[in-house]
Structure 1
Amino acid sequence: MRPDVHRWLRRRTFSAASWSAAELADARRAEGTTVSVVLPALDEEATVGAIVTVIRDELVLRAPLVDEVVVVDSGSADRTAAVAAAAGARVVDVADVLPAHGRVPGKGEALWKGLAATTGDLVVFVDADLVGFDPQFVVGLLGPLLTDPGIGYVKALYDRPLSTTEGIVPSGGGRVTELVARPLLNAFWPELAGFVQPLSGEYAGRRELLEQVPFVSGYGVEFGLLVDLAALAGVDALAQVDLGTRRHGHQSDAALGRMAGQILQTAMARRLRGGAPAPELLQFLRTGDGVEAVSWDVGVTERPPMRTVLAAAGAQGRRR
């Protein structure tokens, strides 16, 4: 493992259990900091209401940590907007925010419009399809931001149980992460190899930073934000928090293929300079003490076309 990644992992990896909602509510009140939570949603009536209810009950009313909860509806065909509003969220339609800029499809568009539709100094993004949502997710993401002014962006890390026909596999999911995002980061942005869940849909940041970087319209948004914010503020301004376990719906292989394509496009657009990819791949295992990094050498050697080898050998023989 690279020494800089090892140092970053030790300094910038936290546990959500390190903070309580009441403690952070006091901290943000003392600082005069405001907090917005944004949920991008498309046809999530089955889950969005419960998430909004938990955030409002626990983090708005009981411990005043959050100032506003906004659901950005991307044109749902179901009752997502009505359910979210009934639970206490302010619901905005993606088409009604910054209408002069039009509308493009994709999750990143909802996040970008959500940034425009809110006012908090700190903005927390939470996917609207989570099952069994725990308010400590929001608490954990806000912890580093409210206790360390040097941290500007925080990503979630967690186990992702994978639902199969044989039941729930405790540690699974994250197929696009393991097959696309992690290899790309390790190869071309190895300083970011320490992020356990680079594509996590739960993260928080300071508005002053988020407003300085572009938001990719589709599923490449998380990858783009990670790379761009590291370039803007430096890797040490980024952190990750262990939230434990995250449960949500899983997509088909075809849908994941489209997601992977958008992530690849996002990465290619940011690879403006050349250079050989780094040969190390960092992967992570859950242990009793948290997560353990395991390093693999995935470098490859490219042999020349056989015709050129044989031609060179023949020429050498003729010279003899």
Structure 2
Amino acid sequence: GAVAAAAGARVHRQADILPAHGNVPGKGEALWKSLAVTTGDVLAFVDSDLREFDPQFAVGLLGPLLTEPGVQFVKSCYDRPLHDGATVMPAGGGRVTELVARPLLNLFWPQLAGLVQPLAGEYAGRRSLLERVPFVSGYGVEIAMLIDVLEAVGLDAMAQVDLGVRSHRNSSDAALARMAAQIQLTVQARLRCDSPVADESGRLTQFLRQGERFLAEVHDVSVRERPPMVHVPEYRAQPA
């Protein structure tokens, strides 16, 4: 936050926005609350942990929205290197995408099969659309938004832009498993199955090696869903 402010950005603390609604951990909450403190007709979201950040990430995302009136949502695509400690595999990243998200989308929403990076954290959209879709907490936010945008405006209103190469830290297998669990719970909710926040479905047991034993760890991977911002009284009360 301090670095962003020093560079001239207007910085808001997530917990300070819409305080009456509480504060849910995770990226989805930050995205949802950003609608309440921004005023532009077009919004772009870019992950803050990227390495070798290029301003073209933002410019590329905004291009279709500024030049094609029919486009309402833009998703990024890119090569995603995987650093395994010894070598760099140019396209080895995105393991949750390939093993979980892509098979689920191809099976249940084949219209979205053409998206190269469905879980990409860089995307942009028109406020008039983003304020009408819900925001899921945690790692479910990207796949939920794709599905909800598809249902709201259709595939012809969606675009993707090649941003070249996206490098950031690579997660451990255990962290990827928790990510995968949240994505599956989110998809389950979109398929109108059992609630994704049910007590039992929101827990993931993992095992870590500790000497000669395996140590069990239980993680809460439940997801919560924020309503479309247009349903929030404080947001509706703001001047147009």
Counterpart residue number, 1:146: 66
Give the Cα–Cα distance (whole angstroms) in 1 for the partners of residues 108 and 88 of structure 2.
34
Give the Cα–Cα distance (whole angstroms) in 2 for the partners of residues 113 and 147 of structure 1.
27
Deviations 1:78-136 (A, max 9, x none): xxx22221222211111100111101111101111112211110000000001111111
> Going by fraction, where is helix more abundant, 1 or 2?
1
**Equivalent in 10, 16, 19 of residue 96 of structure 1:** 16
**Equivalent in 155, 167, 170 of residue 87 of structure 2:** 167
Equivalent residues in 2 for 1:111-260 (5 A)? 111-260=31-180
Deviations 1:23-45 (A, max 9, x none): xxxxxxxxxxxxxxxxxxxxxxx
Gaps of 5+ in 1: 1-80, 274-320
Deviations 1:256-287 (A, max 9, x none): 111111111110001028xxxxxxxxxxxxxx
What is the SS of the residue equivalent to 2:152?
A: helix
Report the alpha carbon displacement of residue 180 of structure 1 after superposing the two structures with TM.
Answer: 0.5
Report the alpha carbon displacement of residue 167 of structure 1 after superposing the two structures with TM.
Answer: 2.5
Equivalent residues in 2 for 1:69-88 (5 A)? 81-88=1-8
What is the SS of the residue equivalent to 1:85?
A: helix
Give the Cα–Cα distance (whole angstroms) in 1 for the partners of residues 61 and 40 of structure 2.
15
TM-score norm. by structure 2 comes to 0.79
One-letter amino acid of the counterpart of residue 164, structure 1: D
Q: Which moved more, 1:161-170 or 1:186-195?
A: 161-170
Counterpart residue number, 1:267: 187
What is the SS of the residue equivalent to 1:173?
A: coil
Deviations 1:183-209 (A, max 9, x none): 000000011100000000000000000
Give the Cα–Cα distance (whole angstroms) in 2 for the partners of residues 91 and 168 of structure 1.
35
C-alpha RMSD over aligned residues: 1.0
Name the % identity.
Answer: 69
